[in-house]
Amino acid sequence: MRILGVTFLRSVGSMEERKDLLLPEVCFVGRSNVGKSSMLNLLTGSRVARTSSTPGLTRRINLYQVIYEGRGGKHPFLCSDFPGYGYARVSKKEHAQWQRMIEAYILSNRHIKRIIWLRDARRDFDALDEMFYEWARTNGLPMSLVLTKVDKCGQGEIAKAKVALQKGWNILDPFIFSSKSGLGKTPLISHIIESVEGGNT
């Protein structure tokens, strides 16, 4: 299973603006600055997504077409890079707008095969993470958790983060990932392609 190429398609603010694209979709969501764009670049071996050390700039959902080779040959899927939540300088009102847009997009989108939820391996859950996780769970969304930036962690820290997730949230076996070192790239690509090839839509 491999990824062969990627191209940027468009930025959208609603499902309406993407409904002509009849492709299975995988969403990358998480806090601002957690490493969503870097992950997309690493997984696709490209520099297609803009990464930034200044968080909070993306307001729309960036759609990319990814070509992969799976069991059934070569096919495209959509990868959506979501605007991040939890950016400190965003007002309550702006956050509410973000939430409405994301919720409407996800709930009205029948093409979604998986939501890849990125979290910094070193951070504990806060109110926003909790809200997002509970919302996704309540709506029965197919979601996988990726702990990012593990190049900054020791083995002990990763193990501790896993235990906390299991105890506090009943989340088992998150993916361990680093865009910097490339750790976890192969299993994550396999997981994404398997999600695209299986399940709903």
Ligand X SMILES: Nc1nc2c(ncn2[C@@H]2O[C@H](COP(=O)(O)OP(=O)(O)O)[C@@H](O)[C@H]2O)c(=O)[nH]1
Q: Is residue 37 close enough to count as binding Mg ion by CB under 5 A?
A: yes
**Among residues 7, 52, 166, 190, the one that binds ligand X under rule CB under 6 A:** 52
Q: Which does 62 bind (CB under 5 to 8 A by kind): Mg ion, ligand X, none?
A: none
DSSP code of residue 31: B
- Cβ neighbours of residue 80 closer than 8 Å, sequence gap 6 or more: 25, 26, 27, 28, 61, 62, 63, 64
Q: How far is CA 40 from the centre of its chain?
A: 9
Question: What residues between 117 and 156 interact with ligand X by CB under 6 A?
Answer: 148-149, 151-152
Please choose, out of 19-27, 29-37, 104-112, 128-136, the segment that lies near ligand X by the rule CB under 6 A.
29-37
Cα dihedral 150, 56, 95, 175, rounded to 10, equals -20
The H-or-E segment that residue 165 falls in is helix 155-169
Size of the site for Mg ion (CB under 5 A): 2
Please choose, out of 4-12, 31-39, 100-108, 165-173, the segment that lies near Mg ion by the rule CB under 5 A.
31-39
Question: What residues between 159 and 198 interact with ligand X by CB under 6 A?
Answer: 178-180
Please choose, out of 30-38, 67-75, 133-141, 151-159, the segment that lies near Mg ion by the rule CB under 5 A.
30-38
Q: What is the C-alpha separation between 154 and 121, in angstroms, rounded? A: 10
Query: Smallest distance, Å, CB 25 to Mg ion?
Result: 17
Q: What is the C-alpha separation between 123 and 21, in angstroms, rounded? A: 36
Please choose, out of 17-25, 50-58, 136-144, 188-196, the segment that lies near ligand X by the rule CB under 6 A.
50-58
Q: What is the C-alpha separation between 112 and 201, in angstroms, rounded? A: 7
Give the angle subtended at the CA of 184 by the CAs of 30 and 64, to the nearest 5°: 50
Q: Is residue 80 close enough to count as binding ligand X by CB under 6 A?
A: no
**Which residues are at the interface with ligand X (CB under 6 A)?**
32-38, 51-53, 55, 84, 148-149, 151-152, 178-180
